[in-house]
Amino acid sequence: MQCPYCGSEQLVTSNSRATEKGLVTWRRKKCLHCGQVFTTKEKIDLSNLLVVKKSRKKVRYQRCKLYSGIYNAAREGKHADRGAMAELTEQITDQVEAAILRQGQKVISSQKIGELVMDILSRQYPELFLTYFAYFQGDRGKRFVRQLLKGI
C-alpha cells in the first residue's frame, strides 16, 4: 500500500476498528514521509458472487446496484440530508454483504438478496423498511404502507 498523497510506502497503522462482526475493518494510517493521515476500509471481496435474476439470467454481483437500490428507496423517505443518507446506505450495504457472505453460497438469487435487505431493515431501520418496501412494490406497496402508517 502506498500513501495517496506522496506515494511513500512508509505507513503506520495508528488505529483500527472492526465492524459487522469483523467482516469490515477500518484502519487509520499515517504516512511517515509526509505526515498525512487517512483511513482505509478493508472488506471481503464479493466480486466472484453470481446473482440469479428473475429472468434466470446470471450476472456478477455489483455492490453499486445494491447500494443504489437502498439509497433510492431511502431518498423517498424522510431522510433529506444527503450526506447522512449516503453514510447510512453504506452502513446498510455492508450489513447486507455480511449477511450474503454468511449464506456461504457462490450463487444467490436477487430475490434472496432482497429478502436479506428487508430482514435487516425491518429489524434495525423500521422507517426505512417501509419506504424500501413501497419503492419496490410500486403503487400497491405505497398504498399499503400509507395504510400501515395511518394505523400507527
Smallest gap, in angstroms, from Cβ of residue 15 to Zn ion?
18
Of the candidates 28, 30, 33, 142, which one interacts with Zn ion according to CB under 5 A? 33
Q: Which is nearer to Zn ion, 9 or 115 (CB)?
A: 9
Q: Between residue 35 and residue 54, which ones bind Zn ion under the rule CB under 5 A? A: none
Q: Is 14 in the site for Zn ion (CB under 5 A)?
A: no
Determine the interface stretch with Zn ion among 6-14, 21-29, 53-61, 66-74 (rule: CB under 5 A).
6-14
Q: Is 2 in the site for Zn ion (CB under 5 A)?
A: no
Q: Which is nearer to Zn ion, 37 or 44 (CB)?
A: 37
The full 3-state SS of the chain, as one line of letters, equals CCCCCCCCCCEEEEEEEEECCCCEEEEEEEECCCCCEEEEEEECCCCCCEEECCCCCEEECCHHHHHHHHHHHHHHCCCCCHHHHHHHHHHHHHHHHHHHHHHCCCEEEHHHHHHHHHHHHHHHCHHHHHHHHHHHHHHHHHHHHHHHHHHC
Phi-psi region of 119 (alpha: psi -120 to 50; beta: other; left: phi over 0): alpha
Smallest gap, in angstroms, from Cβ of residue 25 to Zn ion?
21
Please say whether the beta carbons of 151 and 144 come within 8 A. no
Of the candidates 3, 24, 92, 96, which one interacts with Zn ion according to CB under 5 A? 3
Smallest gap, in angstroms, from Cβ of residue 66 to Zn ion?
33
Q: Which is nearer to Zn ion, 7 or 137 (CB)?
A: 7
Q: Is 5 in the site for Zn ion (CB under 5 A)?
A: yes
Q: Which residues contact Zn ion (rule: CB under 5 A)?
A: 3, 5-6, 8, 31, 33-34
